[in-house]
C-alpha cells in the first residue's frame, strides 16, 4: 500500500474490533503524519497483520516475531499512552 494514499491507510485502520480501533485509529489520526516514511511503511506493514495478532500485541499478550513490528507496536503504545484517552 502506498504511504501517500492516506484514505486507503485510514480504511485499513478500521478493524471492526473496538479494542483495536481505540488503539490504531487515534495513532493514525494524531501521529501518522509525523512519522518518517520508513515508519509509515512499517505501520502499513503492521496493518497487514491479522486482527487476533494485533489485539494480542497491542494488549501486551505477546509480541511480533519481527523486531521492526515490535518497535512499531511499542511506538503505538507509547504515543497513545502519552496522548492519553481519546474519545472515539
* Confidence at 86, pLDDT banded by 50, 70, 90: low
Q: Kindly report the CA angle at 86 between 56 and 53, in degrees rounded to 5?
A: 10
CA distances from 71 to 8, 11, 17, 18, 51 (A): 23, 23, 22, 23, 18
> What is the number of other CB atoms lying within 10 angstroms of the CB of residue 27?
23
Locate the domains of the chain by residue range: 6-83
For 16-25, the pLDDT digits (tens) are: 889 899 999 9
Residue 71 confidence (pLDDT): 98
Domain with residues 6-83, CATH architecture: Orthogonal Bundle (1.10)
pLDDT in tens, 37-63: 999 999 999 999 999 999 999 999 999
Q: How confident is the model at residue 2 (pLDDT cuts 50, 70, 90)?
A: confident
Contact 25, 60 (CB under 8 A): no
Nearest 5°: phi and psi at 62? Answer: 140, 180
Amino acid at each position: 500500500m502506498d504511504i501517500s494514499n492516506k484514505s486507503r491507510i485510514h480504511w485499513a485502520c478500521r478493524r471492526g474490533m473496538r479494542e483495536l480501533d481505540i488503539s490504531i485509529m487515534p495513532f493514525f489520526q494524531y501521529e501518522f503524519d509525523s512519522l518518517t516514511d520508513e515508519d509509515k511503511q512499517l505501520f502499513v506493514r503492521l496493518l497487514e497483520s491479522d486482527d487476533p495478532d494485533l489485539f494480542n500485541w497491542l494488549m501486551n499478550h505477546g509480541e511480533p516475531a519481527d523486531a521492526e513490528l515490535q518497535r512499531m507496536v511499542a511506538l503505538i503504545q507509547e504515543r497513545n499512552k502519552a496522548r492519553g484517552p481519546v474519545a472515539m
